[in-house]
């Protein structure tokens, strides 16, 4: 088997982003690069992966939701679900729909700082082991509300305060999201040093070598654009 492919099912988490009932890929969360109405083609293609990251972009920016479709996907595949989960009731509903974990971002911050009271209440209600805290960054600062609002806070400050209340951190480097220029490994290394919780990194990952490098740092890789464009193969090449 080719180098790197041994990590494909263990370290690689494919991403399905939903908008208007379609699978989409956006560049830096803004410009539409790809869309596909055949959602379940991708659900089936990711069948052998133990986890899929499923993000409801409409819910994230408050323009609606894809709840019915999210429930159908979760019934077919183990999914960690994010997008618009801003209350404990919403988190409970998403988990009840079949999600294995909830990815929570904006609700974990208030007045430019981690909302520890909310984080604690969420963990107490649904279990910290089912909470993934999103510390998405742009220009080195936390961004929330669908990456549209920047906070005067670094991810390193955030993880130190939030780690008692979650199982993992999703670290999306928005500057590289959808660009396929590679992820900033040094940024991931720095966050890895700041917390004992599991790290899942996203933002520009394009090659199996990067996935291997992230694995060496103790981080998993969420990949979207490189998969949908065919830049990152999900199967090893045939023997020569």
- Cβ(132)–Cβ(125) below 8 Å: no
Q: From the DSSP assignment, how many helices (H) and strands (E) are in the chain?
A: 10, 15
Of 58, 67, 124, 136, the catalytic one is: 136
Residue 98 to residues 127, 136, 224, Cα–Cα distance (Å): 15, 24, 22
* Residues 47, 77: Cα–Cα separation, whole Å: 7
Q: Which residues pair with 101 in a beta bridge?
A: 80
Active site residue 175: no
153 φψ region: left (φ > 0), alpha (ψ -120 to 50), beta (else): beta
Of 17, 56, 58, 220, the catalytic one is: 17
Helix orientation angle between 208-217 and 185-194, rounded to the nearest 10 degrees: 20
Closest CA to 98 of 172, 35, 43, 147: 43
Q: How many CB atoms lie within 10 A of CB 76?
A: 14
Active site residue 36: no
Active site residues: 17, 136
């Amino acid at each position: 088997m080719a180098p790197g492919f041994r990590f494909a099912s263990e370290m690689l988490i494919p991403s399905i982003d939903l908008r208007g009932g379609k699978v989409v890929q956006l560049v830096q969360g803004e410009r539409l690069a790809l869309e596909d109405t055949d959602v379940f083609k991708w659900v089936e293609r990711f069948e052998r992966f133990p986890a899929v990251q499923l993000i409801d972009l409409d819910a994230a920016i408050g323009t609606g939701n894809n709840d019915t479709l999210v429930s159908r996907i979760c019934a077919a595949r183990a999914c960690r679900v994010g997008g618009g989960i801003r209350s404990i009731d919403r988190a409970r509903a998403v988990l009840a729909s079949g999600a294995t974990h909830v990815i929570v971002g904006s609700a974990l911050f208030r007045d430019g700082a981690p909302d520890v009271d909310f984080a604690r209440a969420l963990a107490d209600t649904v279990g910290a082991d089912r909470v993934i805290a999103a510390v998405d960054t742009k220009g080195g600062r936390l961004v929330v509300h669908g990456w549209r609002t920047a906070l005067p806070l670094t991810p390193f400050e955030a993880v130190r305060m939030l780690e008692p209340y979650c199982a993992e951190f999703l670290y999306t480097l928005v500057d590289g999201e959808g660009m396929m220029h590679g992820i900033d490994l040094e940024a991931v290394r720095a966050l890895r040093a700041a917390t004992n919780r599991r790290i899942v990194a996203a933002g520009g990952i394009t090659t199996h070598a990067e996935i291997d490098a992230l694995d060496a740092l103790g981080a998993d890789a969420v990949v979207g654009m490189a998969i949908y464009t065919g830049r990152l193969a999900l199967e090893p090449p045939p023997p020569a």
